[in-house]
Amino acid sequence: QVQLVESGGGLVQAGGSLRLSCAVSGTIFSINTMGWYRQAPGKQRELVATITSGGSTNYADSVKGRFTISRDKNTVYLQMNSLKSEDTAVYYCAADRIPRRYWGQGTQVTVSS
């Protein structure tokens, strides 16, 4: 099993910054891709950013140039700058350990305009 615990969400004004963290524990060997997803009210969950064990990153077009994903041994981060009201959502951390994707419980990010 893999456990993921997110932290760092909160309320921020438009143009501000937040840093999300995701602590990974459990059977973490063979975890390849980790990522952040988000779900706004009434919308489907969508990809925000992913990072592989080799450090390759991928971003949604809507966050390119504003968000940065990074990882160290057991933690994945999402640095969010120049936040917009449309970034408001519950942000979920995910870890892929074939054949499963594990999810955290989510952390709320609210951007006020």
Answer whether the bond into residue 41 is a cis peptide, omega within 30°.
no
Whether 36 shows a pLDDT value over 90: the answer reads yes
CA distance 53 to 45: 23
pLDDT tens string 14-32 = 999 999 999 998 887 888 8
Residue pair 6/102 in contact by the 8 Å Cβ criterion = no
pLDDT at 30: 84
**Rounded to an integer, what distance in angstroms lies between the CA atom of residue 90 and that of residue 25?**
21
What residues have CB less than 8 Å from 56, skipping those under 6 apart? none
Please, which pLDDT band fits residue 57 given cuts at 50, 70 and 90? Answer: very high
